[in-house]
Structure 1
Amino acid sequence: MNAFERLSGEAKRVLACARDEAERARAGYIGTEHLLIGLLRVEGGIAARALAELGVDLEGVRASVEAAARRPAPPGVPLEQTPTTRTRRVLELAFDEAARGGATTVTTGSVLAGLVLEEDGLASHLLRDRGVTVAAVREVVTRLAELGVTEGRDGGGPAG
């Protein structure tokens, strides 16, 4: 199984949303901030639920990202939506986080933990500014799993 196949359906949608968000912002790259917005946009994901419990909302994050973002490329300039080094590192950390918990599927909860663990990206700073720690993420994600909230390779939601 390749790495992409190990992503839950929601995690795959997060990556698509991150790409869309980068395109919308005319960023020319997919940064950690775009991943964070993607996590918030995929409402069926564990991360969106965890972030809501931790008091992080889409509009507040989007406003902070827009305030901190680089200047957008002018209209008409073709853009390549390439993940940044930090974004690639977040995904590596997400795979590590899933393995740490004994999971074969990488969920949005693992991606969220990766965002917090990668300490230099804009998303990590935005989350820390809102009091989000990796310990808090792990605690909420574990509790959600105990309540039966799951993600599968084809999507997820409450188990049962």
Structure 2
Amino acid sequence: MDILLDLSSRIAARKAVALHESRRKELLLLRNPSRLFLRMLFERFTEEAMKAIMLAEEDTRRFGHVYVATDHILVGLLLGPENIAAKVLESIGINAKDARVEAIKIVGQRGFNEPIEVEKMETRAINIPFGPRAKHILELSYEEARKLGHDYIGCGHLLLGMLSDERCLAAQSLANCGANASNMRTEVIRMMAENNNETVLERSCEPNVVDDAQIDEEVREREKKINLKIQERYKLMCESPDFEKAGSLLGEIKALRMEIYHLQAKKEKQIMWSRMWSC
């Protein structure tokens, strides 16, 4: 009897060690994805997928979390306008609020604190990194795109990547909402084959400090021009009012301001790419 108990305890100990080792290897895999590989992933993202990631970052900041997790990416997909993932999820009655509620429930069951919404948080907060599981989902989305023969990564691929990892928080939240992973996968693939209107971004070189400096200089030049035109318009209206010329100057001022807006948007996009490549 003692021999059997000893043998049983040894078997149980070996199983525990094997389970611990498998989990350790999984965590190592999740924590150390290739930086160059992640860079290649983001270069293949569609415009809609990039918007979903940006919305995921906003959701992360709103709850005061320290990294982007899979549930934030799910919320980003649901909040994104007219993307395949959102259409599939909404067709089965799942919205961003439902997904967030289920994620909070799951996190609470695991013994962690529930997300705390941060009021009046600056939108341009410090860059937020991706969590290990979120990085893994990005890699899985690439695998899904490759299997389908696509050379881009869209919102549909991101959702398929989540469905491929049943242990991620996003997949568990969807399951708790009553979603069937197999049915969703079939519907996503069907919609991508029939009507995929996502915009594939052009490949771009890595942004650097020089790019930002050039944009800042161009913005300053346009601001100087705006100030000069404002002074010219003021002087014109004070001395000898010429409403036609004043209207023309006002149009030029508006055009310059629009150019500044586009330059600043370009800089924000470069900052976003730079942050993603360094994650």
**TM-score category by the smaller chain?**
0.7 to 0.9
- Contact 2:62–2:117 (8 Å) recurs in 1: no
Count of residue pairs the alignment pairs up: 153
Structure 2 counterpart of 1:50, from 82, 88, 101:
88
Distance apart, 1:61 and its partner CA: 1.4
**1:137 maps to what in 2?**
184
Kindly provide the CA deviation profile for residues 34-67 of structure 1, in whole angstroms up to 9, marking residues without a partner as x.
Answer: 0000010002211000111232111211223344
Corresponding residue for residue 44 of structure 2? 6
Pairwise mapping of residues 118-157 of structure 1 onto structure 2 (< 5 A)? 118-154=165-201
TM-score by length of 2: 0.50
If each structure's strand is expressed as a fraction of its own residues, which one has the higher value?
A: 1
Identity rate of aligned residues, in percent?
Answer: 25
Give me the whole-angstrom Cα distance separating, in 1, the residues matched to 2:42 and 2:126.
23
Structure holding more helix per residue: 2
Range moving further from structure 2, 116-125 or 136-145: 136-145
**Are 1:23 and 2:70 counterparts?**
no
Task: Give the SS at the match of 1:102.
Answer: coil
Q: Could you tell me whether the CA contact under 8 Å between 1:86 and 1:118 is conserved in 2?
A: no
Measured after TM superposition, the shift of residue 79 of structure 1 is 6.3
Question: Within 1, Cα distance between the matches of 2:144 and 2:179?
Answer: 17
| Local SS of the residue matching 2:134 | helix
Report the alpha carbon displacement of residue 68 of structure 1 after superposing the two structures with TM: 4.4
Q: 1:110-145, CA deviations, whole angstroms, 9 ceiling, x for partnerless residues?
A: 100111112222111111222334422221122223
Alignment check: 8 A CA contact 1:94 1:110 kept: yes
Give the TM-score, by structure 1 length: 0.83
Partner of 2:161: 114
Within 2, Cα distance between the matches of 1:79 and 1:125? 29
SS of the equivalent of 2:153 reads: coil
Q: Cα–Cα, structure 1 residues 23 and 100, in superposed 2: closer, same or farther, change >3 Å?
A: same
Q: Corresponding residue for 2:129?
A: 82
Instruction: Quote the RMSD (CA, aligned, Å).
Output: 2.4
Q: Deviation at 1:73?
A: 9.0
Query: How far, CA to CA, are the matches of 1:128 and 1:146 in structure 2?
Result: 25
Unmatched 5+ residue regions in structure 2?
Answer: 1-38, 108-112, 202-279
- CA 1:67–1:99 in 2, change beyond 3 Å: closer, same or farther? same
Residues 1:41 and 2:79 are matched in the alignment? yes
Counterpart pick for 1:105 among 152, 155, 161: 152
Distance in 1 between the 2:117 and 2:92 partners? Answer: 33
Which runs of 5 or more structure 1 residues have no equivalent in the other structure?
155-160
Matched, 1:64 2:102: yes
Measure, in 1, the Cα distance between the counterparts of 2:85 and 2:67: 22
